[in-house]
Structure 1
Amino acid sequence: MFRHPRSLRAFHWAPRSIRGRVTALVALLSMLLLIPSGVLAGMVTRQELADAGWLDARRAADLMAAADRAGRLTDPVVTSSVPMVNVIQVVGPDGRVRAASPDAAGLPALSTVRPTAADPQRDLQVCRAPLGCVRLSAVRVTPAAGSNVIYAGGPVHPGIKTGVFDALFAVQVLALIALAAWAAWKITGRTLRPVEAIRAELAATNVNDLSSRVPEPQGDDEIARLARTINGTLERLENAKGRMERALAAQRQFASDASHELRTPVAGLRAQLEEARLHPADTDLPALLDRTLSDVDRLQDIMADLLLLAKIGGDTPLEVCEVDLAETVRMEVGRRTATDRVPVELRLARGTVVMGVGTQITRVLTNLLNNAQRHAARGVQVEVRHNGRYAELLVSDDGDGIAEADRERIFERFTRLDASRCRDSGGSGLGLAIVRDIVRAHGGSIEAGAADTGGARFTVRLPLYHRPPGASPCAPATTHRPMAPAFAAH
């Protein structure tokens, strides 16, 4: 790559700050505008002064010609009528001076130029010692051949020759450029002051504390909108940080609970097998096998539930299809009739269709029925109904119910209430967590409440689905994505 030598790079210097750049730009534009304007103003001023001198000379010459025609000329000629004119001569046709002002007394004719009858007035400039350069107006008194000629005028102003006006305009232009640069520096500094405050506040912000906010200036200009945008971004980052912290805490709690739940049956298996190895003669082999198989079943259930949770929260696309809730409930309850501990009463509204993964919707129903069967005293009630734009699945039992303080906690992983802590009846502690994650992945909600029979009621709400004409009953696999990661904090 070609690099500029140091001497060349110096010509590419530019101020580092926006304030300096704006000031330099304003100064440059001021020079480009004011310098030509100053030069033009100087030229116009000089021309105006010159024109004013010629006008004074013409006026004085006309007055003297009128006085000559009226026979009122005196010698010496009085010049007080036009203050800027001090040189007047009345020259006869023979070239002799017949009258003159005091400043021109004793001098020969200032000029040999004589206006004609066709052109009775002429402007001319002559340089004659001791007057120096004089601007004259020559006026013919009468058209007659023997007419006098009046020469009237004054010396050229020395300021015009020495460039006083040029210097004056140069100083004025420089002062205006300096004023424009100073104003740009001050105004830009005042305008960018909130930006510096925003920068300082952002520099002091760190990832450990995102609660600080940048100052928001008044108004609706770009800087005010920038400050509001930054504060909005900081607020979103603070909220995201809080969600991440809660998610990490939930992950750590989940890992701790999962390791505990998995260690318990493994430890039981190990203890029973070691005891059987130490005392083989005193071991009841069939009973040992039953107990170990029970622990293996428990391990298998926990691992299956963990895999299902990972699948719900994973990125694996699943095909979603129309699911008739009423038909799904009827089939699942009919399949379980022989094994259920208490009877199940059904109240099903036809045409309650949702869009989802059929196996997961069935798992929601299975887990809720298992929970109800575990706690019911005499019976379980399952209802499917419409509620506006949602389909509702209600599973109720007549057991002891759930305390209001525990109605959110029961959906956390590995949560079993005190009444259900025993391994035989309490399950793995993942059933309701699985239900919640599946329902949320389908865009729905679930809540626990009190049933009319005194027990617990779980209400699942899912969006109703009406298939458009000509549409397929199933959607592509990539359209069904879980709403929350498997181990995220909800």
Structure 2
Amino acid sequence: MSRRRVPLWPRTIRGQVTFLALVLTTVFLTPLGLAADAVIRSAVAQSLWRETRSVAARTVDAYQEARLRNPIPVPAGSRVLVQVIGPGNHVLAASESAAGLPVLASPPSGLPDRAIDFRTCPAGRRECYHATAILTGSRAEAPVVYAAARTPGLLRGHLIDISIGVQVALLVGLAGWVAAKATGRALGTIDNIKAELAHITASDLSRRVCEPPGDDEISGLARTVNSTLARLEHSVEQQRRFAADASHELRTPIAGLRAQLEDAWLYPEDTDLRSLVQGTLRDTDRIETIITDLLFMARLGSSGPAVQERVDLGRLTAEEIRRCGERVPVAADLQDDVMVHGVPTHLVRVVANLLDNAQRHADRQVTVQVRATRGTAVLSVTNDGDRIPVEDRERVFQRFTRLDEARSRNRGGTGLGLAIARDVAIAHDGTLRVEDCSTGTRFVLRLPVAE
């Protein structure tokens, strides 16, 4: 039976952040702890050697001036041991605390005429010493003054190492605990957002996640989630209205088609075949037009960005005017070389829808103008029919909206032409609005000029 291996790298973000905090803190504090250990040991040793050096220097001065006494006097409160060692390692004189002690250290070979600081541990003794040795004269056989201070237990054992190690471990643990708590607090907010999102369903998109106070990344995430939910709710609501409107618009021609076919089935002898075919074709054409517009809007909203090219808006408009026929006379004022970036088939659809709408609502004439103004290409289509009230100027761009229901149906409108035109304009970074004019209604399309 194989043993289950424990992964070294934590799987959770909280564990990963805590692990990294522990590693980085250990890497940072370990050299600091070692440096602190070395500094403390050096500081204590230098303090001891300063004291032994001072006592040794005073003893040498006393020896050279022939006023050295035995026992050698030392400053009050000092724990320094002093010995004057002559040739053959004989103790010539010693301080009271060093009386009766063996030689603390052997004279270093080639001892120069200066103080030498060293550490010594005499054989047979448990103590170690921090000592200073100074020659009393220039001759090699001149006596040597040793001043030694017992090495404190702080330097003899591992007390400093253990103390600093414990402090480093505590600091590392504290850093890990802080990282774990901070990460847990942040991730707790994310868990709350996740839990709230899990309870939001397509049937109720009005709920929102709780936004924590502040301007940090978690607050920004919560605001972005709520903004996305708001857009999603709006989109779903539009789809629901669109589905309801589409089913209503399709029901009318389908019902008319069914009624004609049922009459022909029930009363074949009273049915005029020519009229029946004309009526069914008319209803079929209307159904086909509605479905075509619906498919175009669906592709426009769901597909990615189409390949755009340079399009001469004036020439495109002129070709569409020739194609639309002579239902209502069209007066055109088209500026040359008004170039825009766009999808030609989509721009053709915009111009066609605006011309069709204008001709269906005009009394005697439609006026079309294309010009370039301050880096913007402007297409205006004006009809001399009824004006659109100011309060309805935005509503006409909604899907299946008709200000005059019966009149619009009789003129063949599907209620989608202006909605399609505005969607295409927005997709091309442009605008489509109803603007003021002296008579009738004017639709104005604005697009960025191609450079």
What TM-score do the two structures reach when normalised by structure 2? 0.72
Contact 1:445–1:460 (CA<8 Å) still a contact in 2? no
Q: 1:368 aligned to 2:360?
A: yes
Change (3 A) 1:152 1:298: same
Q: Indicate how the Cα distance of structure 1 residues 50 and 265 shifts in structure 2: closer, same or farther if over 3 A, else same.
A: same
Aligned residue number for residue 283 of structure 1: none
Q: 1:95 to 1:46 in 2, by over 3 A?
A: same
The match for 2:229 is 234
Counterpart mapping for 1:252-291 below 5 A: 252-273=247-268, 276=269, 288=270, 290=272
What SS does the aligned partner of 1:127 have? coil
Whether contact under 8 Å (2:105, 2:122) holds in the other structure is: no
1:396 matched to 2:385: yes
Q: Give the structure 2 partner of residue 41 of structure 1.
A: 36
After superposition, the C-alpha distances for 1:198-230 in whole angstroms (9 at most, x for unaligned) are 323323322222223334445554334333332
Deviations 1:226-247 (A, max 9, x none): 3333222222211111111111
Equivalent in 367, 389, 405 of residue 384 of structure 1:
367
Distance 1:66 1:82, change over 3 A: farther
**Are residues 147 and 199 of structure 1, via their aligned partners in 2, closer, same or farther at CA, if it must alter by over 3 Å?**
same
Distance in 1 (alpha carbons) for counterparts of 2:92 and 2:173: 58
Residue 342 (structure 2) aligns with:
none
When residues 402 and 461 of structure 1 are mapped into structure 2, their CA distance, relative to the original with a 3 A threshold, is closer
Unpaired segments ≥5 residues, structure 1: 277-287, 334-345, 373-379, 421-425, 469-490
Q: How many residues align?
A: 411
Task: Give the alignment partner of residue 348 of structure 2, picking from 347, 356, 361.
Answer: 356
Relative to structure 1, is the Cα distance of residues 330 and 198 closer, same or farther in structure 2, using a 3 angstrom cutoff?
closer
Cα drift, residue 82 of structure 1 = 6.9
How far, CA to CA, are the matches of 2:399 and 2:193 in structure 1? Answer: 42
Q: How does 1:309-324 map to 2 (within 5 A)?
A: 309-314=290-295, 321-323=316-318
Give the distance between the partners of 2:391 and 2:145, measured in 1 at CA.
121
Q: In the aligned structure 2, how far is the partner of 1:289 from the partner of 1:55? A: 130
| Residue 214, structure 1, aligned to residue 203, structure 2 | no
Relative distance call for 1:194 and 1:410 in structure 2 (3 A) is closer
State how far apart, in whole Å, the 2-side matches of 1:185 and 1:427 are.
Answer: 67
Q: CA RMSD in A?
A: 4.8
2:95 alignment partner in structure 1 = 101
Which of these residues, 19, 30, 45, is aligned with residue 50 of structure 1?
Answer: 45
Cα deviation, residue 252, structure 1: 2.5
Deviation per residue, 1:53-76 (Å, 9 max, x gap): 333222211111222334443332
Report if the CA contact (8 A) 2:72-2:95 is conserved. Answer: yes
In structure 2, the CA distance between the partners of 1:434 and 1:169, relative to structure 1 (3 Å rule), is closer
Bigger mean CA offset, 233-242 vs 356-365? 356-365
Seen in structure 2, the aligned counterparts of structure 1 residues 438 and 24 have a Cα distance that, compared at 3 Å, is: closer
Corresponding residue of 2:306: none
Matched, 1:297 2:317: no
State the AA in 2 paired with 1:305.
R
Equivalent residue of 1:390, what SS? strand
Rounded Cα–Cα distance in structure 1 between residues aligned with 2:67 and 2:239: 111
- Aligned CA distance change for structure 1 residues 415 and 321 (closer, same or farther; 3 Å): closer
1:225 aligns to 2:220 (yes or no): yes
Comparing 298-307 and 93-102, the one that deviates more:
93-102
Of residues 228-237 and 145-154 in structure 1, the stretch that sits farther from structure 2 once superposed is 145-154
Query: Could you give the per-residue CA deviations for residues 85-131 of structure 1, whole angstroms, max 9, x where no partner exists?
Result: 1x212344575434322222123444442776853544452415567
- What are the superposed Cα offsets for residues 420-479 of structure 1, whole Å, 9 maximum, x if unpaired? 6xxxxx8965712268369738859798x9x98xxxx6x4636499x99xxxxxxxxxxx
1:138-168 Cα shifts (integer Å, max 9, x gaps): 3222336774432221222233222111111
Q: Which amino acid aligns with 2:279?
A: R
Q: 1:61 to 1:68 in 2, by over 3 A?
A: same
Q: Are the counterparts in 1 of residues 245 and 400 from structure 2 also a CA contact under 8 Å?
A: no
2:154 aligned with 1:171, yes or no?
no
Whether the aligned pair in 2 keeps the contact of 1:383 and 1:394 (CA below 8 Å) is yes
Output the amino acid matched with 1:461: F
CA contact (8 A) 1:352 1:385 kept: no
Q: Is the 8 A contact 1:383 1:395 kept in 2?
A: yes
Q: Tell me if structure 2 keeps the 8 A contact 1:114–1:149.
A: no
* Alpha-carbon spacing, 1:361–1:215, altered in 2? closer, same or farther (3 Å): closer
The answer to whether the 8 Å contact 2:83/2:94 transfers is: yes
Contact in 1 for aligned 2:53/2:147 (Cα 8 Å): yes
Q: Give the counterpart letter for 1:152 in structure 2.
A: A
Report what 2:428 is aligned to. Answer: none
1:357 to partner: Cα distance = 6.5
* Aligned partner of residue 160 in structure 2, secondary structure: helix
Against the structure 1 CA distance between its residues 6 and 238, is the aligned structure 2 distance closer, same or farther, given a 3 Å change threshold? farther
Alignment check: 8 A CA contact 2:250 2:287 kept = no
User: Which has more radius of gyration?
Assistant: 1
Q: Which amino acid aligns with 2:83?
A: Q
Instruction: Give the Cα separation in 1 of the matches to 2:87 and 2:446.
Output: 122
Task: Name the structure 2 match of 1:161.
Answer: 156
Corresponding letter in the other structure for 1:309: I
Q: Which moved more, 1:64-73 or 1:169-178?
A: 64-73
Matched-pair identity in %: 26
Give unpaired runs (5+ residues) of structure 2.
301-310, 339-346, 372-377, 426-430
Distance of 2:401 and 2:141 partners within structure 1: 135
3-state SS, counterpart of residue 134 of structure 2: strand
- Relative distance call for 1:257 and 1:158 in structure 2 (3 A) is same
1:142 aligns to what? Answer: 137
Q: Aligned AA for 2:68? A: L
Instruction: Report what 1:377 is aligned to.
Output: none
What is the distance in 1 between the residues matched to 2:178 and 2:446? 66
Q: Secondary structure at the match of 2:122?
A: strand
SS in 1 for 2:69: coil
1:199 alignment partner in structure 2: 194
Query: Would the aligned equivalents of 1:89 and 1:97 in 2 still touch at CA under 8 Å?
Result: yes
Which residue of the partner structure matches residue 344 of structure 2? none
Instruction: State the alpha-carbon separation in 2 of the partners of residues 158 and 410 from structure 1.
Output: 92
1:396 aligns to what SS in structure 2? coil
